[in-house]
Structure 1
Amino acid sequence: MTRKIDNAEGFNAGRRSLMKATGIAVAAMSVVPAVAATQALAQSTSWDKVFPKSDRVDHQKVSFKNRYGIVLAGDLYLPKERGNTPLAALVLGGPFGAVKEQSSGLYAQTMAERGFATLAFDGSYTGESGGEPRNIASPEINTEDFSAAVDFIGLHSFVDRERIGMIGICGWGGMALNAVAVDKRVKAVVASTMYDMTRVMSKGYNDSVTLEQRTQALEQMSRQRWADAEKGTPAYQSPYNELKGGEAPFLVDYHDYYMTPRGYHPRAVNSGNAWSQTTPLSFMNMPILTYIAEISPRPVLFIHGEKAHSRYFAETAFAAAAEPKELMIIPGASHTDLYDRVDKIPFDRIADFFGQHLA
């Protein structure tokens, strides 16, 4: 089924407000201002999430290895009222530079309330997951992380391994689509407020980076490798200290989520930390959505905000995907609204989608 709710005028107005990115910039999710060092994460000693704990769900911290031997940390959520029949399961990741205590955990807990076994996890080299050095990303390894989560959850007796779906948020929406294209065990996928990280890192926002700029970026990062090799440790980007005024609206939105009590978490790369300076290298020539059409005949649901600066990523991916597919545009929603605004995230539609296709 194809459904597209559109408002081109509002979207184009939002796009005109974007700042152009160069090829050396990591996606805006990791280029957000930092909070003061004294800002504390509001949480209890037993609950380290940025969202309230549900009394309808059982929660457990878990760990498992990916195919490269990296130990991944996850949060497993199960409905309290689950009976004796194996459950359909969902694995969840994202946003890019976030941790499982943020958006992916909120999605996971909410879907567990709706009867699914869910697993939100931290990507390799980030959060509570293993891997050295810290705060490194890779389109291949992070795609593998999703399949490792499928491995893990599918081994449990309370899960029907023939009924596993996937949700990727923001930059991990693209990773999820890449994972499902190759991992035929996954029966359905949702990409919420998605980014194609390989596209934005290699071409900039709205594909504005020229060949000359790309070449300069690669030259700079290549030289940075010499500096890192000489020191024995990678150099990191410098996070912003505060909003100084005049930033593009999407940067203000990221700050409002990652740097305030709304979504701040000290382990998140985006919450005042930084990626390594050479992180974009592995993204620059590896377009992860090349085989998106091979998700078919399994269904894919794209969810995006009407006013999101990133909307063009979902629209391009939707056009390239094969049926069955659906693009759901949320009226008035920005990119980060779909991180945690439960009045805007269409959980009813997501539950119906997986209820139908994981039946």
Structure 2
Amino acid sequence: MNKPTQHNVTMAQTDTLDEGRRNMMKLTAGASIAALGMSSLVANKAFAATPVQMTQEWDKTFPKSSQVDHKKVTFTNRYGITLVGDLYTPKNATGKLAALVLCGPFGAVKEQSSGLYAQTMAERGFVTLAFDPSFTGESGGEPRNVASPDINTEDFSAAVDCIGTQAHVDRNRIGVIGICGWGGMALNAVAIDKRVKAVVASTMYDMTRVMSKGYFDSTTLEQRTAALEQLGEQRWKDVDAGQPAYGPVSLELKGGEPQFVVEYAAYYKSPERGFHPRAVNSNASWTLTTPLSFMNMPILTYIAEISPRPVLFIHGEKAHSRYFSETAYANAKEPKELMIIPGANHTDLYDQTDIIPFDKITNFFATHLA
């Protein structure tokens, strides 16, 4: 793929999403969209696994860099859940350095996109920490494969706690990068956590918006009510069974899926790109009641309170999810910037290193964590 020319836009310059894309993305019920890790499309059920032991071998979806030191770390969030992260430090680091905390996408693990971002930014002089959210990957929490906008927001602040105790970190120079669904969580966390000095949201999803309202806010009140009634009935089934039920394995395509679902599968299911056995989107599914805590909790309500700290939004021009960043950009206060990557789709910003604007991200943090 040829490297595109990157350009920055204001809201006035942003192209209007065409009606065809809107029609493609209008689905019947918002809760059904993200509950199963964006698209759980087959009948085979995936069950929760016992939390794995922390691995020590290199099992990332990207090559190990010779320019950074890597080690596993554990830390505990405010709810007492032990989280596991990968700490990347520039080789031969001296003194106190700026640091970055990273997580995402929704349904991914630190061995995928967030780890790639973390290692790349460590090569550029930052101490970085990519972590697995609560209930997923190598991190603790029961039941497995459940998400919470509250707990997962807290996970970011717990990661800030952790990185701020590292020997080579200046705790007054900490930034955050959130990818996809954890881009929204990152913005929510930074609005709360004033210790963070700057934030980047890459190919961002507002998970509370898409679960509660559907794509392009197309879910009607009747559909929302029906979804909540269905979730209530599922709770009865879970309590009677004594354990949560899980949806079909994510992204097992049968043909005829929307293009954005095909793009997700091309990343998460391909060993050549992003498949990882611990990732919900690669090899499992969310609990069926995961949407409940997202339905009444809009996580970007206080996005304006990130200011006066800077925020950089990065999104692909062709991404089905682009409108999430455009809305967030409109609601944020200065200093803010929206970078649209020409020709890029949503998942290109997961792992396509010739497209991800690492130079821009580096300059952003070098300036604002100085």
TM bin (shorter chain): over 0.9
The counterpart of 1:185, out of the listed 181, 195, 198, is 195
1:193-232 equivalence runs, <5 A: 193-232=203-242
Q: Is the 8 A contact 2:203 2:315 kept in 1?
A: yes
Distance 1:11 1:49 in 2: 37
Q: Does 1:31 align with 2:76?
A: no
1:348 maps to 359
Alignment root-mean-square deviation, CA = 2.0
Distance 2:233 2:343 in 1: 43
The counterpart of 1:4, out of the listed 9, 13, 26, is 9
Q: Is the 8 A contact 2:26 2:216 kept in 1?
A: no
Distance 1:316 1:146 in 2: 22
In structure 2, list runs of 5 or more residues that go unmatched: 1-6, 45-54
The counterpart of 2:115, out of the listed 105, 112, 116, is 105
2:317 maps to 306
Distance 1:15 1:171 in 2: 20
The range that moved more, 88-97 or 218-227, is: 218-227
Deviations 1:96-150 (A, max 9, x none): 0000000000000000000000000000000000000000000000000000000
2:345 maps to 334
C-alpha spacing 1:227/1:288, structure 2 compared with 1 (3 Å): same
Distance 1:61 1:26 in 2: 33
SS at match of 1:313: helix
1:273 maps to 284
Alpha-carbon deviation of 1:268?
A: 0.4
In structure 1, list runs of 5 or more residues that go unmatched: 37-43
Distance 2:310 2:250 in 1: 40
Alpha-carbon deviation of 1:8?
A: 2.1
C-alpha spacing 1:10/1:213, structure 2 compared with 1 (3 Å): closer
1:134 maps to 144
TM-score, normalised by the number of residues in structure 2: 0.90
Aligned partner of 1:344: which letter? Answer: I
Q: Does 1:86 align with 2:93?
A: no
Percent identity over paired residues = 70
Deviations 1:28-58 (A, max 9, x none): 7442568x9xxxxxxx982100011111011
1:41 maps to none
The number of residues matched between the two structures is: 350
The range that moved more, 171-180 or 234-243, is: 234-243
The counterpart of 2:247, out of the listed 226, 237, 241, is 237
Q: Is the 8 A contact 1:202 1:283 kept in 2?
A: yes
SS at match of 1:25: helix
Distance 2:298 2:23 in 1: 25
1:249 maps to 259
Distance 2:267 2:104 in 1: 14
Aligned partner of 2:342: which letter? Answer: P
Aligned partner of 1:31: which letter? Answer: S
Alpha-carbon deviation of 1:245?
A: 1.7
Q: Is the 8 A contact 2:26 2:218 kept in 1?
A: no
Alpha-carbon deviation of 1:14?
A: 4.2
C-alpha spacing 1:178/1:115, structure 2 compared with 1 (3 Å): same
Q: Is the 8 A contact 1:117 1:159 kept in 2?
A: yes
2:293 maps to 282
TM-score, normalised by the number of residues in structure 1: 0.93
